[in-house]
Every structure is written in C-alpha cells, then in structure tokens.
Amino acid sequence: MPKIKLINIVGARPQIIKASAISRAIRVHFSNDISEIIVHTGQHYDKEMSEVFFDELEIQKPQYNLGVGSAGHGRQTSLMIAGIEEILLKEKPDCVLLYGDTNSTLAGALAAAKLHFPVIHIEAGLRSFNKLMPEELNRIVSDHSSTLLFAPTNAALKNLMSEGFRPENAPPYTINNPKIYLTGDIMYDNTLFFAELAEKKKAGFLNESGLVKNNYVLATIHRDTNTDDIERLKEILLTLKELAEEKDIVVIMPLHPRTVNTLKTRLKDFYDDLKHCSHVKIILPVSFLEMTLLEKNCRIIVTDSGGVQKESHFFKKPCLVLREETEWIELVNNGTAKLVGAASARIRKEFLNFMDSDTDFKYPGFYGDGKAAEFILSEILRLF
C-alpha cells in the first residue's frame, strides 16, 4: 500500500500538461510511496483542450470529472468547490495538489483548506501585481491557503517572502506554519522530456502544416483582456497580418476557443478576411507535442500565455508578450521578452527589432534542472 494518497486537481489545458510531469515522476520514482487520484473539474472540455493531452502525455484518465464547463467566474468556481468538497470527503486524501492560477486552482484551494486537507501549490508566488486579472486573485488566495508552496523562480520566492511567508519555518508544516521552496519549473521538466519525443512522433507535422523551419512566427492569444475587448483583439491581429505580409513570413495561430468565439460572433467580417490572407494560418489548438515542435522551429513567438512565454525561453526564441505586465519578469529583464500590450506601434517596433536583429541573445537557466517534479514529490513525502 502506498504511504500517501494525493489528489491532483486539474481543469484547464496548462494544468493537464503540468500534471503529466508529476504523474510521470510518481510512476518512475515514487509508485511504492504515493498513489494519485486525478480530479478534472471540466473547466476545459473540447477534445483539443483536454482529452488530447491525457492520450498524448500518457496521463491516467481522471477518476472524477466534475463536468463543470464554461460559466461566469462565480458560478464556475462555486460548482467546482461543491464538487471537489464531495470528493475530498469521500476520498480523505493526505494532501491536495494544485497547479497555477485558474478558477480550478482557486476552487481546489478553498475546498481543501476549509476541510483542513493540506494544500500543496505548484507555481506558487507568481505575481503580476495587477489584481484586475482574475488569475492574480486566484494566486493570492491559493498561496495563502497552502501548506507547502513550490515557487518556480527566485522572483516568485521573493514575492512570497514579501507577503509574510518565512523561509525559516520549521516542521511540522501546516496552513498556519507553511513551508516555501524554490524548485524550478515543472514545465521545464516537460520540455526536456518531450522535445525529442516530439521530433520522433510528429516528424511530418511542420511539412504537413505548410511551414518552413525558422520562417514562421508562432502566435497565441487567449487572455480575457485581449479577447473580450474587440478593439484590442483586432489591433493585435491586424498588426500581425500586416507585419507578416511586409516581411513575407507566415504567422501561425493555434487559437484558443475563447478567441475564435469572439472572432466568429463579434468580428465576423474581419475574421473572414483574415482567413483568406495567405500569410496568416489560423488553426485549432494543437497537441502539446505539436506545440513543442511549433515553438522549437519558429522565428519569433508572440503570445499572452504564461506557459508559452516560458517555453519561448526554453527554445531560445525571442518573445513578444501581448500584455502590460508579466509574472515571468526574468524574461523581460533578460531582454528576450518584450512587453508590447496590444498597441500596434509597440508590437511593430519590437517585432521588427527581433526580425532584423543579429544579436546573439543569451537564454540563462532560470527554471531549474528539469527535476522539479521529483524534488516536489520527495518533499511531500517528507511531510508525511
């Protein structure tokens, strides 16, 4: 019988990908010590936003899927809390593992902490310092409900300390006496593990997508600030289209369903024009292995995604961040990521700088040694 029973809560695409690093480390190193139950809130549910990752990344199917689906923040989060609470009361796990900053993270944190199950937060301490962002509220509440907090970067660890978390706390750790760690990033573990596999398993993918290595730009857009405000969304897309035509380069965009919904319902004519532009390829969301290949072989990345920003660094690609601030501040300080918001002039300036630059950018190892998941699990075992 494994020593501890851990509940792993996922819901949104990036959490499923992150959970694969933990599941793999349990399988390879801790299968005698840790048993894992996966709870999927159902926040993401399209095949290409959920199921594809379980299949491709070999994660066990969730034992529970709450099927919550899309709704406003209040309704979505409350349905998740109620569903998770029931599962926790039935399963009585030793601890609850949460990733990142989505509504699924928040729901898991509140449900578990209020029932006094220890919460373990992976990707703790990240802050944008913009509380208008739903994710910022989710991060703060989740961190302050946790017993073990795994910060991926120095900046994240410092943020926790400035909110009163003390590195000198001694065991036994509890929600009132939490432990903070610097771990590195489990997504770096994943990139190291899957990058080569992607080359093997998806050998024809670039070709089939009509892409030539180093001669395309990869763009993703899904943040609420960029998709709910159609003027911002239009400005971003129009600027990218014009730049692609001007530089005779393809921009490929595996678009999040949220963005496609906005385009279809609120910018229909513009969307139709865009689809006819030979320099712009809008496609469905891709699998993680396909995304890995797109990132590895592109010229520049343009994104408002947290995960994709970091992956730009893993693959040594310059990155334009379609936001006013970022939690991954080391990338901006390094000069290889530029905050451009949604303003045409700023996107254009930094895009052309990166396209025309022959600077040999450096990409230092900000994100650990690729063994963050192993470290996290061994620390969890020490707690029990």
Rule CB under 6 A: say whether 103 interacts with ligand UD1: yes
Partner interacting with residue 70 (select from ligand UDP, ligand UD1, none; CB below 5-8 Å by kind): ligand UD1
Give the x/- contact pattern for ligand UDP in 179-218, rule: CB under 6 A.
----------------------------------------
| Helix axes 186-201 and 372-383, enclosed angle (nearest 10) | 140
**Does residue 44 belong to the site contacting ligand UD1 (CB under 6 A)?**
yes
Binders of ligand UD1 among residues 222 to 241 (CB under 6 A) are: 222
Contact 103, 73 (CB under 8 A): yes
Q: Which of 150, 165, 173, 288 contacts ligand UDP by CB under 6 A?
A: 288
Q: Is 286 in the site for ligand UDP (CB under 6 A)?
A: yes
User: Distance between CA atoms of 299 and 355, rounded to whole angstroms?
Assistant: 8
CA distances from 214 to 48, 66, 202, 251, 298 (A): 26, 42, 17, 12, 5
Min CB(100)–ligand UD1 separation in Å: 7
Which tokens in the block code for residue 98?
């949460």
Helices (H), 132-267: 134-143, 154-162, 186-201, 205-208, 224-227, 230-247, 257-266
Q: Which of 10, 13, 25, 227 binds ligand UDP (CB under 6 A)?
A: 13
Whether 44 sits among the annotated catalytic residues: the reply is no
The size of the interface with ligand UD1 (CB under 6 A), counted in residues, is 19
Residue type, 62: P
In single-letter form, the type of residue at position 82 comes to A
Query: What is the contact mask toward ligand UD1 in residues 119 to 138, using x (rule: CB under 6 A)?
Result: ---------------xx---
In single-letter form, the type of residue at position 233 comes to L
Per CB under 6 A, 311 contacts ligand UDP: yes
Does 291 help bind ligand UDP (rule: CB under 6 A)? yes
Does position 234 interact with ligand UDP (CB under 6 A)? The reply is no
How near is the Cβ of 174 to ligand UDP at its closest, in Å?
29
Residue 266 touches ligand UD1, criterion: CB under 6 A? no
Tokens for 6?
């851990």
337 beta partners:
319
Give the C-alpha separation, 17 to 19, whole Å: 5
Q: Choosing among ligand UDP, ligand UD1, none, which partner's interface includes residue 254 (Cβ < 5 to 8 Å by kind)?
A: ligand UDP
- Whichever of 16 and 39 has its CB closer to ligand UDP, that residue is 16
| Angle at which helices 134-143 and 103-114 cross, to 10° | 30
Which listed range, 95-103, 239-247, 275-283, 368-376, lies at the site for ligand UD1 (CB under 6 A)? 95-103
DSSP 310-364: HHHHHTT--EEESSS--S-HHHHHTTSEEE-TT-HHHHHHHHHHHHH--------
Q: Does 257 bind ligand UD1 (CB under 6 A)?
A: yes
Among 29, 201, 247, 258, binds ligand UD1 (CB under 6 A): 258
20, 43, 226, 297: which one contacts ligand UD1 (CB under 6 A)? 43
Site size for ligand UDP (CB under 6 A): 15
* Least Å from the CB of residue 14 to ligand UDP: 4
Among residues 40, 222, 256, 279, which one is catalytic? 222
Give dist(CA 113, CA 107) in Å, integer: 10
> Given phi > 0 = left and psi -120 to 50 = alpha, else beta, which region is 193?
alpha
Q: Does 302 bind ligand UD1 (CB under 6 A)?
A: no
Shortest gap between Cβ of 361 and ligand UD1 (angstroms)? 26
Closest to 328 (Cα-Cα) out of 346, 312, 317: 312
The neighbouring-strand residues paired with 320 are 302, 338
**Which C-beta is closer to ligand UD1: that of 256 or that of 296?**
256
Q: Which residues are known catalytic residues?
A: 222
Residues at the site binding ligand UD1, with contacts judged by CB under 6 A: 12-14, 43-46, 49, 70, 101-103, 134-135, 222, 256-258, 261
